[in-house]
């Protein structure tokens, strides 16, 4: 099972999100082809209602505790259904600031 599939499955099971996107952005960085080290994750869940952003991120970090030992970077975009209705998408990821391709 790929890391992307594992992340998707774990978040889906834990939060039953209304919307979930897990994007492997490793190809945008100076890593070996086929790497699964950089991810952008958008989660829309009713469980985030009334929670501060840091608490939402800590929840995702807890869900993915084992996977975080192997992941180099993870961009989290956690939204309530109302926030999702207003924004509609996660922002584009910036270019790599490290050893970019």
> Could you tell me the pTM of the whole model?
0.83
- Domain assignment present for residue 58? The answer is yes
Q: With respect to residue 40, please indicate whether it lies within any of the assigned structural domains.
A: yes
Three-state SS at 15: helix
Tokens of 20: 């979930």
Does the pLDDT value for residue 96 go beyond 70? Answer: no
Residue reference for tokens 């999702």? 84
Give the range of the structural domain holding residue 60, as residue numbers without chain letter.
3-87
| pLDDT per residue as tens digits for the range 29-85 | 665 575 666 688 999 999 999 999 999 999 999 999 999 888 877 889 999 999 999
Distances from the Cα of 59 to the Cα of 1, 37, 46, 56, 92, angstroms: 23, 20, 13, 5, 23
Kindly report the CA angle at 68 between 8 and 64, in degrees rounded to 5?
40
pLDDT at 6 over 50: yes
How many domains would you assign to the chain?
A: 1
Residue range 24-28: average pLDDT?
Answer: 66
**CATH number of the domain where residue 36 is located:** 3.30.300.90
pLDDT of residue 101: 47
């Amino acid at each position: 099972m790929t890391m992307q599939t594992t992340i998707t499955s774990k978040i889906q099971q834990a939060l039953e999100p209304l919307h979930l996107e897990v994007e492997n952005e490793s190809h945008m960085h100076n890593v070996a082809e086929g790497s699964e080290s950089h991810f952008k994750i958008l989660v829309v869940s009713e469980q985030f209602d009334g929670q501060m952003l840091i608490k939402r991120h800590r929840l995702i970090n807890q869900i993915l505790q084992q996977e975080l030992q192997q992941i180099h970077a993870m961009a989290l975009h956690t939204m309530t259904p109302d926030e999702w209705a207003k924004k509609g998408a996660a922002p584009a990821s910036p270019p790599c600031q490290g050893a970019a391709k």
